Structure 1
Amino acid sequence: MGQPHSIAISAAPQAVFARYEAVETWPRWDPEVLEVYLPEGLLAGARGWLKPRKGPKSTIIVTEVDHGRSFTVESPLPFGTLRFHHRLEATDTGCTTTHWISFTGPLAFLFAMTAGRSIEAGLPQTLAGLKAECEGTEPPAPSSAQT
């Protein structure tokens, strides 16, 4: 449903996954996240909340974890669900990291056309921040198109 966004990171998948597991640091490298609370950590079934830069604080539930490879977090919506998908694939120089979103439910098309566009527009900057965090470099400045 959502357009996947990928970036090459010069770090092993396990090292990148460790950044995902350090949930409290997400706001440091993801400019779209102001606060996140996931007291059980990145485990299937864990519940908490996330406050995005734009929009209300939302309930999040970790629905799938394949340690070192992928995880999915979902957020309930009226008559639907928003899912954030994260996948890591090993390469000769580190890994390729891919993020994408999907919506389900009777209003999925509406959410995809409204909130989905804004969320997808932020994925490249999120991936750039994750890359900088993992490689110990400075993240690029946000583009004016994403403000």
Structure 2
Amino acid sequence: MNKAFLSLQTLLLMASLGIAQSNTHFSYSLETRAKPAKIWQIWSDVPNWQQWDTGLKSAELLGAFAIGTKGKLIPDKGPKSSFILTELVAGKSYTFKTKLPLGALHVKRYLEEKEGKTYFTHEVWFTGLSKGIFGSALGKNYRRILPEVMTRIREIAER
């Protein structure tokens, strides 16, 4: 019941913001009793992303956690890819981008604290001429596993 309510809340929030759920642009939000700093610690610890990202074999950041820093991702399936941190508000949000043929994959993670509760969101979108192709090829699976990924983050944060 709680998961369904949160999913409905997320859909309503996205609709109010003009963000429709599709395989080319989607997000998922959860509430946790953990403090925002704990979620931030998990998110910004790039070498340990595979602990909670079920589709990832390894991740590496080639420098400080800062705008413009590049990194590498090795998924469980598929080729190694590079990414770059494109936006950062320390302790609140960040976005990274992975180049794709004729497009890009963007991942934004952000935190909110309201009335003593922490809410965290993972948003994914594809851009460029190939966004429909990659939305179908990759987005469908990412969208399917995102609730599990977010639940794993919450479990780690609440330990």
Name the TM tier (shorter chain). 0.7 to 0.9
Which residue of 2 is the match for residue 22 of structure 1?
A: 45
Which blocks of at least 5 consecutive residues in structure 2 are unaligned? 1-23
Q: Check conservation: 1:79, 1:107, Cα contact below 8 A.
A: yes
Which of 101, 112, 117 is the equivalent residue of 2:140? 117
Whole-angstrom CA distance in 2 between matches of 1:56 and 1:72? 21
Are 2:117 and 1:94 equivalent residues in the alignment? yes
Whole-angstrom CA distance in 1 between matches of 2:117 and 2:45? 19
What secondary structure does 1:109 align onto? Answer: helix
Which residue of 1 is the match for residue 70 of structure 2?
A: 47
Structure 1 residue 39: Cα displacement: 2.5
Which residue of 1 is the match for residue 21 of structure 2?
A: none
Which residue of 2 is the match for residue 104 of structure 1?
A: 127
Are 2:43 and 1:5 equivalent residues in the alignment? no
Structure 1 residue 42: Cα displacement: 2.3
Identical-pair percentage? 29
Whole-angstrom CA distance in 2 between matches of 1:63 and 1:27? 21
Which residue of 2 is the match for residue 143 of structure 1?
A: none
What secondary structure does 1:3 align onto? Answer: strand
Are 2:87 and 1:61 equivalent residues in the alignment? no
Q: Check conservation: 1:87, 1:99, Cα contact below 8 A.
A: yes
Q: Check conservation: 1:21, 1:41, Cα contact below 8 A.
A: no
RMSD of aligned residue pairs (Cα, Å): 1.4
Whole-angstrom CA distance in 2 between matches of 1:127 and 1:121? 11
Which residue of 1 is the match for residue 94 of structure 2?
A: 71
Which blocks of at least 5 consecutive residues in structure 1 are unaligned? 137-147
Q: Check conservation: 1:20, 1:42, Cα contact below 8 A.
A: no
What secondary structure does 2:95 align onto? Answer: strand
Structure number with the higher helix fraction is 2
What letter matches 1:45 in structure 2? G
What letter matches 1:63 in structure 2? T
Q: Which runs of 4+ in 1 moved over 6 A?
A: none
When normalised by structure 2's length, the TM-score is: 0.80
Structure 1 residue 89: Cα displacement: 0.8
Whole-angstrom CA distance in 1 between matches of 2:69 and 2:126? 20
